[in-house]
Amino acid sequence: MSNTENWLADPLSLFDVRGKVAVVTGASGAFGSLAAKVLAGAGARLVLAAGNDKAMAETADACCALGAKVTTIASRPSTEADCNAIMDAALAAYDALDILVVGSGLNDPCPITEQSLERFETVMDGNLTSAWLLCRAFGQRVIPRSTKAKVVLMSSARGKLGHPAGYTAYCTSKAATDGLTRALGCEWGRHGITVNAIAPTVFRSPLTAWMFEDNEKANAVRAGFLARVPIGRLGEPEDLAGPLLFLCSRASDFHTGHTVYADGGYTAG
């Protein structure tokens, strides 16, 4: 039974993540870095993980400047040992573990007839197997502590829609991420752990910067794409901040197994 009086006096408290311990992978990249900074600004304590420790250090500095406590671990979540070490780093630093945000991932577009099995597997491993391993390592530590925890995976509109430009590995990996989100949401509901995913289309990042430029190629690609986006623009980092805070906080306690499309309505049409 909820204490309605308390939260009605301050509904924004439902989004409060102050003091929560959040593991963010891919902290060297666009989404991971954004997620880390949003959670830092909101008062969470952080464990950042990435292979590129120079780029991760920039994220860590920005988070510290926002007043957050930050621990870093120079590791991609590629193996069981990596994923276990990332979670153990959180427990060693804070003796708590509340939030997992999987911001690591990749694309490697290539027509299927030219793509090696190795390249396919690299995309599947980086987007799916890694997320599965991270969730397992997280659950193995969080469930015995009876923590009401939050997991946010990174999907894509391409988990729902195909794409003609050599996206068989990427679309497959993201559709499977949606399946993992649903299945684990069901499996962990009884533990009070919610599992959801954010699915953007194109949001501004180093990888997508060319699509925001003003030149013939970018203008043509953007116009074709935006004709199918009801809100009529590409995504900005702050478009992901709201869904992220919702899914990391008590505000989403009754939401699990969902993929939340942060896509300007692209997948609704």
Ligand X SMILES: NC(=O)c1ccc[n+]([C@@H]2O[C@H](COP(=O)([O-])OP(=O)(O)OC[C@H]3O[C@@H](n4cnc5c(N)ncnc54)[C@H](OP(=O)(O)O)[C@@H]3O)[C@@H](O)[C@H]2O)c1
Q: Please list the active-site residues.
A: 170
- Which of 126/257 has CB closer to ligand X? 126
Any contact of residue 207 with ligand X (CB under 6 A)?
Answer: yes
Task: Tell me the closest approach of the beta carbon of residue 177 to ligand X, in angstroms.
Answer: 8
* Other C-beta atoms lying within 10 Å of the C-beta of residue 39: 27
Q: Where are the alpha helices (DSSP H) in the chain?
A: 4-9, 30-41, 53-65, 80-94, 117-124, 130-142, 168-188, 216-226, 238-248
* Residue 129 binds ligand X, judged by CB under 6 A: no
In the complex, the smallest distance separating the C-beta of residue 174 from ligand X, rounded to whole angstroms, is 7
Residues 36/46, Cβ–Cβ less than 8 Å: yes
Is position 258 an interface residue for ligand X (rule: CB under 6 A)?
Answer: no
Q: By C-beta, is 147 or 173 nearer to ligand X?
A: 173
Q: Does 51 bind ligand X (CB under 6 A)?
A: yes
Taking CB under 6 A as the criterion, the residue among 192, 208, 212, 225 binding ligand X is 208
- Which span (24-32, 58-66, 81-89, 223-231) binds ligand X, by CB under 6 A? 24-32
What is the three-class DSSP state of 243?
Answer: helix
Which pair of structure tokens corresponds to residue 163? 């794409």
> Which structure tokens are listed for 20?
């929560």
Going residue by residue from 136 to 175, which x/- string records binding to ligand X, judged by CB under 6 A?
A: ------------------x-x-------------------
Q: How would you class 220 by CB atoms within 10 Å of its CB: exposed for 0-12, middle for 13-18, buried for 19 or more?
A: exposed
- 77/250 with CB nearer ligand X: 77
Which residue's entry shows tokens 């949001």? 203
| 67-126 binders of ligand X (CB under 6 A) | 76-78, 103-107, 122, 126
User: How far apart are the C-alpha atoms of 3 and 29, rounded to whole Å?
Assistant: 39
Q: In angstroms, what is the minimal distance from the CB of 240 to ligand X?
A: 9
Q: In what order do the strands lie in the sheet with 70-74?
A: 70-74, 45-50, 21-25, 99-102, 150-154, 194-200, 259-262
Q: Which residues bind ligand X (CB under 6 A)?
A: 26, 28-32, 50-52, 76-78, 103-107, 122, 126-127, 130, 154, 156, 200, 202-203, 205-208
